[in-house]
Structure 1
Amino acid sequence: MLAIVAAIVSRRAIPGLLVGVWAGAIIYTGGHGLGTTFDWIIASIATEFHVSILVFTFLLGAGVGFIWRLGGSFAVRDWAASRLENRRQAGVAAWVLGMLVFFNDYANTAIVGTAMRDVTDSHDISREKLSYVVDSTAAPVATFMFSDWIAFQVSMIEEGYSAAGISETAPAAFVTFLRSIPFNFYCLLAVLMVGIIVISGRDFGEMKTAEARASSTGKVLRDDAQPMQDIEGDLGKPETTKPMVRSFVVPIVMLVAVTLVGVYWTGRAGGDLVGVLGAANWALSLVWGAAGMVLSAGYFGLRHGILSFGESVETFVDGMKIMMTANTILVLAWSIGTVTTELGTGQYVTSVAEGLVTPGLLLVVVAVAAGFTSFTTGTSWGTMGIITPIAVPLAVEVSGMGALGPVIGAVFSGAIFGDHCSPISDTTVLSSTFTGADHIDHVRTQIYYAATAFVVAIALFLVWGYLSVTPYLLLPAGVILLGGLVYVFSEFDITGPGAPQPSD
């Protein structure tokens, strides 16, 4: 909590995270926390997955650097400008692309953020809005599409079965996962809310102020913002006066294609599609994809005489440099996860929740416990790992086998909601990074929308808990309620200072 409050108040993530890790070390050691602080920071890096993500992010920065100096971003912006006529169409394009890149949330933030940043800038859409669109489609879509998330979620369900002692009698874990999808209310509503926002042109809360600034002054960032990337400041002007769209498209296609080939290659022993997804080394595959992106972009620059070999090496190094802040925050965010694990934060939250459970409140209590755990730890996967083995036995004891799918949906909903609201979440950091937004500004503006979708999800969980209404009726009702809340909140804000009028 100290890390989160310090980060939001100071609008700086790194000092808040450092204070949070140090405070945790003080509690853990009883007053001698400096050495433990650095031990935890080092330990957070010393895993194959985390090292792979750091390498992936550095290589992706190099790829972004090449695309910038080849003029690819400008070419895409100019191409889109001739086809996307207004802010609404640009917002819808970002939303649709966010749903199409579903196979990994990290790759989603990288591809959509990089592809759409200059496009939305050209239509005076704030970086805060683009970050929201990217963040609220990346993980939510990955939770119920074919991705590495599915493999992880199925494995967590199996862990829950083992904890409940029902491995032999319960439905297959994948079947329970499929049954959880209609109850994953927050993720479904979060994705649909992005569509409601970008199509209606209505905003509320601090996002309204950000959009007013961008639409009236053309400033996509506030004056004192510290964007996670400042491409032009770090890399200078593009090296060509005739940018080509393919200098953007080819590296991005290589990123996606090589990553998917890597997923198949590292997971081919798994047999069927679900087995491949579960057995694949996604982090390593992303590294391969990013390397393919860099090599193809570098070759493109040399082939067309845009960059010399020396300039290509310089671009590679400068591109990696723009990721230093993001990777620093990632390391410290992972360190916070180590802190909360050592202090037993997740177990404490769930032990408190267990005493509040009744059949009618089961899904609400589980979702809130997961949301709070994810918010304070900054990790949705870690939250799923903590909560699922407790929620499954709880559901069986309170409501029987029929509650397995619903309770898993509640776990996923709460975990992603807390992740969206947390300034120490890695996916939230990456969303800010690849859209070039101020990280704390992204968190402050998104939290209004995430909370609105979560409140509606909680209402649907309550209705199911007490009335057992089918989720296929609850979800449409939730979408209508969500649309009504967006309208009411935007109208309530309409006369506020700097409030933009709904427009295209």
Structure 2
Amino acid sequence: MEKGNVKALLPIGVFLVLYLGLGVLFEYGMGIPMGFYNIPIVVIFLVALLVACVQNRKLPFDDKLAVMGRGIGDKTIVTMVLIFMAAGIFVGTVGRDSAESVAYLMLSVIPAEFSVLVLFVVSCFVSLAMGTSVGTITLITPIAVAVSAASGFDLPLCVASVMGGAMFGDNLSFISDTTIAACQGQGCQMKDKFRENFKIAVPAALATLAIILALSLGSDINGTVSHDYDLIQLVPYLIVLVGGIVGVNVFVVLLLGILSGSLIMV
């Protein structure tokens, strides 16, 4: 049996360190909105690729290119790349306006004493539709700050509700990058992965909702947050969610979401 070589993981390690490091720097150090989506991902990939090419000096460089070509040409890899690209375009197309419309809609129709609960549910919905917990946190946290300032709820509680909801939604999302990679790598259907994760994540979400209610109910409400919203901006999210749940191919779902989002933004 051929023994594994830990050094073979070095390119992946370089990629992760650079990606996470720059993401944290952009998002929290420099205050760039959706900082993880502003990372020069191609540059980071090329650096990691260079590290891989430097390794195993016994193999000629031309042979290394041939190995990479065969790997990149694999059907699973090509499918993942196409879906990743479509997911990124969907997030960029739908953007902040749709997420804010979801939040302000629910804040306007649900009593103010449940505002913290609304932040959790909104974050679940947006993250489930967008497939990104970090992006959802970036979009919804400013609204959480406004809710805290207007209503009197503790700011840490509001922000924690956003983070919890975002993580829950990302765990179940059909277009999350980790979900796509896991399903393509293991050869399973998105809907099957959703069903299994549902059994694990929903009990935790229900427990979180109970804790949020216990901490927030009975608080003195000083005011509410109100803002204009547009129901039509929810359509791309609904297309992705419904399409994913009924089992439509994720790439097709994303294309429909991008198309609807583009038409709305025109």
One-letter code of the match for 2:209?
I
In structure 2, the residue matched to 1:216 is none
Q: CA deviation at 1:434?
A: 4.5
2:82 corresponds to 1:335: no
- Superposed, which structure 2 residues align to 1:195-214 within 5 Å? none
- Summarize the Cα distance change of 1:261–1:425 in structure 2 as closer, same or farther, 3 Å threshold: closer
2:130 corresponds to 1:372: no
In structure 2, the residue matched to 1:358 is 112
2:2 corresponds to 1:243: yes
In structure 1, the residue matched to 2:167 is 416
2:52 corresponds to 1:290: no
2:203 corresponds to 1:441: no
- Summarize the Cα distance change of 1:440–1:397 in structure 2 as closer, same or farther, 3 Å threshold: same
What is the rounded CA distance, in whole Å, between the counterparts of 1:314 and 1:253 in structure 2? 20
What is the rounded CA distance, in whole Å, between the counterparts of 1:338 and 1:276 in structure 2? 20
Contact 1:388–1:411 under 8 Å retained in 2: yes
Q: CA deviation at 1:413?
A: 1.1
Deviations 1:165-202 (A, max 9, x none): xxxxxxxxxxxxxxxxxxxxxxxxxxxxxxxxxxxxxx
What is the rounded CA distance, in whole Å, between the counterparts of 1:289 and 1:453 in structure 2? 39
Determine which of 69, 79, 87 is the counterpart of 1:325.
79
- Summarize the Cα distance change of 1:258–1:379 in structure 2 as closer, same or farther, 3 Å threshold: closer
One-letter code of the match for 1:426?
D
Contact 1:251–1:293 under 8 Å retained in 2: no
- Summarize the Cα distance change of 1:381–1:260 in structure 2 as closer, same or farther, 3 Å threshold: closer
The structure with higher relative contact order (CA 8 Å, sep 6+) is 1
Contact 2:15–2:45 under 8 Å retained in 1: no
In structure 2, the residue matched to 1:394 is 147
Deviations 1:429-486 (A, max 9, x none): 1333455544343223212222222111111111111378xxxxxxxxxxxxxxxxxx
1:370 alignment partner, SS class: helix
What is the rounded CA distance, in whole Å, between the counterparts of 2:171 and 2:101 in structure 1? 22
- Summarize the Cα distance change of 1:398–1:261 in structure 2 as closer, same or farther, 3 Å threshold: closer
Q: CA deviation at 1:381?
A: 3.1
What is the rounded CA distance, in whole Å, between the counterparts of 1:258 and 1:327 in structure 2? 16
Q: CA RMSD in A?
A: 3.4
What is the rounded CA distance, in whole Å, between the counterparts of 2:173 and 2:218 in structure 1? 32
What is the rounded CA distance, in whole Å, between the counterparts of 1:376 and 1:411 in structure 2? 15
Moved more, 274-283 or 417-426: 274-283
- Summarize the Cα distance change of 1:315–1:381 in structure 2 as closer, same or farther, 3 Å threshold: same
What is the rounded CA distance, in whole Å, between the counterparts of 1:446 and 1:261 in structure 2? 29
- Summarize the Cα distance change of 1:333–1:379 in structure 2 as closer, same or farther, 3 Å threshold: same
Determine which of 123, 148, 157 is the counterpart of 1:406.
157
One-letter code of the match for 1:244?
K
What is the rounded CA distance, in whole Å, between the counterparts of 1:434 and 1:384 in structure 2? 28
- Superposed, which structure 2 residues align to 1:215-226 within 5 Å? none
In structure 1, the residue matched to 2:227 is none
In structure 1, the residue matched to 2:12 is 255
Determine which of 65, 83, 92 is the counterpart of 1:313.
65
2:148 alignment partner, SS class: helix
Q: CA deviation at 1:397?
A: 1.0
Q: Which has the greater radius of gyration?
A: 1
One-letter code of the match for 1:370?
S
Q: CA deviation at 1:277?
A: 11
One-letter code of the match for 1:255?
I
- Summarize the Cα distance change of 1:263–1:370 in structure 2 as closer, same or farther, 3 Å threshold: closer
- Give % identity: 22
- Summarize the Cα distance change of 1:375–1:466 in structure 2 as closer, same or farther, 3 Å threshold: same
Deviations 1:260-304 (A, max 9, x none): 36877x79xx7xxx74998995736742563155225xx32x53x
2:189 corresponds to 1:432: no
What is the rounded CA distance, in whole Å, between the counterparts of 1:336 and 1:442 in structure 2? 21
In structure 1, the residue matched to 2:209 is 458
Contact 2:174–2:190 under 8 Å retained in 1: yes
- Superposed, which structure 2 residues align to 1:31-42 within 5 Å? none
In structure 2, the residue matched to 1:194 is none
What is the rounded CA distance, in whole Å, between the counterparts of 1:421 and 1:282 in structure 2? 27
What is the rounded CA distance, in whole Å, between the counterparts of 2:175 and 2:15 in structure 1? 30
Deviations 1:288-333 (A, max 9, x none): 563155225xx32x53xxx665543322012112321011111222
- Summarize the Cα distance change of 1:330–1:261 in structure 2 as closer, same or farther, 3 Å threshold: closer
What is the rounded CA distance, in whole Å, between the counterparts of 1:334 and 1:345 in structure 2? 15
What is the rounded CA distance, in whole Å, between the counterparts of 1:420 and 1:467 in structure 2? 31
Q: Structure 1 unaligned runs (5+)?
A: 1-241, 469-504
One-letter code of the match for 2:168?
F
What is the rounded CA distance, in whole Å, between the counterparts of 1:336 and 1:393 in structure 2? 27
Q: Structure 2 unaligned runs (5+)?
A: 220-266
- Summarize the Cα distance change of 1:285–1:324 in structure 2 as closer, same or farther, 3 Å threshold: same
- Superposed, which structure 2 residues align to 1:78-97 within 5 Å? none
One-letter code of the match for 1:252?
L
